[in-house]
Amino acid sequence: MPADRAETIVLGAGIAGCALAFHLATRSHGPVVVFDPQTPGAGATGRAAGIVTEQLWDRWDVEVTRASKSEYAALAARWDPTAYSVNGFVRWTRRPEVADALARSVERLEGWGVRSRVLSVDELAARFPSGRFVGVVAATGCVDDAVVTPSAIAQIYAEGARANGVDFWLGRPLARFAPVGGEWELTCGGRMVRAPRAVVAAGAWSKRLLAGVGHPVPLAPYRTQAAILRPAPPAPADLPSAHDLDTDVYVRPEQNGRILAGDGTELVEVDPDTFRIGGDDAFVAHVAETFAERFPGWAEAELVRAWAGVCCSTPDRHPLVGPVPGAEGLYVIAGFNGFGVMRAGGAAGRLAAVLSSGDDDRELERLGPADPRRFAGPIAEFAPRPGFTLEGGDDPRF
């Protein structure tokens, strides 16, 4: 079978893979082939919550997420204005030890240029007419945070990449991915392509793909859940996203007055091919109990649907973005610990700069704490430990 030629093969057409293809194409990087057994954004991207917040736990995350936000806003404004909106994001707690962590987070965030501030209970009540905030001892918010439709943003990236010459191989299973003669070879649907570089951007499937070519990295796929609800009266269009730190339930506005609610994270590794895709009764009940206590005005909200998706965790909660240790020409962009949509655009831009520069040291430095080479050496199994790690930095309590 004659092989096509490319400069880079990207495995995975989720938001990260499509963003990477877009950035490579707009850099005149050379031919790019993107492979995915489904369509762009059809996997975990299509099941993501789409909250994009700068209230994060280190400067690198803030800078990368800020770049993502700017890019999503510009792309949506041009191609699909419904796919991006700024609505703000608030958090609150009744626990004094968490309140202390929230106060510290505001100080850190202000130093990084994030417009985060402490909110009063009266301000919470004004933004959430359906809420009840008795006993809340601390709350913070950021007016600049946004929500996106992740699948729509992935599609915009994909169409932009196609318009700049990227070849998408979609809808057929992977037959083979392997190193051949100092290059990387992918076979799918009777076609073959070889390239000096390959990037695994396959989300929860990245662990299996990289182990299959003899270069395992520390990733642990885990299951998480969300639900769409229809409250009466409908939720306000300008409703902020919110995270109740005590119950670990988050909510964000959806179109037509609906809301999305989630937590349901399971701290055990799962098989991304066999996990249960429907929402569990226990998860739905937990959301209902939280609403009854925190949002009594939504207690009778109609459940439209509930579902589960698979995210991917790393041992230190930082993603893997960059060269795979010990593998010439092999890269990864995965392991976002539930924050893939927030980071995808900015992280893909940095990885594209590395690839286009031929691994220039200055560009590699910009990968910061996401550089996979920090895990050079034997790979040990670990339990997923992801979540809204927004308030405690490296504090293991959070």
- Please report, as a single letter, which amino acid is at residue 49: A
Task: Give the CATH fold of the 4-46+151-219+315-375 domain.
Answer: FAD/NAD(P)-binding domain (3.50.50)
Residue 302 pairs in a beta bridge with: 230
Confidence (pTM): 0.94
Residues 6+ apart with CB under 8 A from 313: 219, 220, 221, 222, 335, 337, 338, 382, 384, 385, 386
- Every domain of the chain and the residues it spans: 4-46+151-219+315-375
Question: What are the tokens at 193?
Answer: 């392509």
Strand arrangement, sheet containing 241-244: 116-118, 138-142, 89-93, 241-244, 249-253, 259-263, 220-230, 302-313
* Per-residue confidence in pLDDT tens, the chain, 398 aa: 677 999 999 999 999 999 999 999 998 778 999 999 999 998 889 889 999 999 988 899 999 999 999 999 999 999 999 999 999 999 999 999 889 888 888 999 999 999 999 999 999 999 898 889 999 999 999 999 999 999 999 999 999 999 999 999 999 999 999 999 999 999 999 999 999 999 999 999 999 999 999 999 999 999 999 999 999 889 988 899 999 998 889 999 998 999 999 986 888 999 999 999 999 999 999 999 998 889 888 888 999 999 999 999 999 989 999 999 999 999 999 999 999 999 999 999 999 999 999 999 999 999 999 999 999 888 888 988 876 554 444 443 33
Nearest CA to 367 out of 328, 332, 315, 341 is that of 332
What is the number of residues in the chain? 398
Q: What is the pLDDT of residues 133-192, one digit of tens each?
A: 999 999 999 999 999 999 999 999 999 999 999 999 999 999 999 999 999 999 999 999
**Chain centroid offset of residue 342 CA:** 5
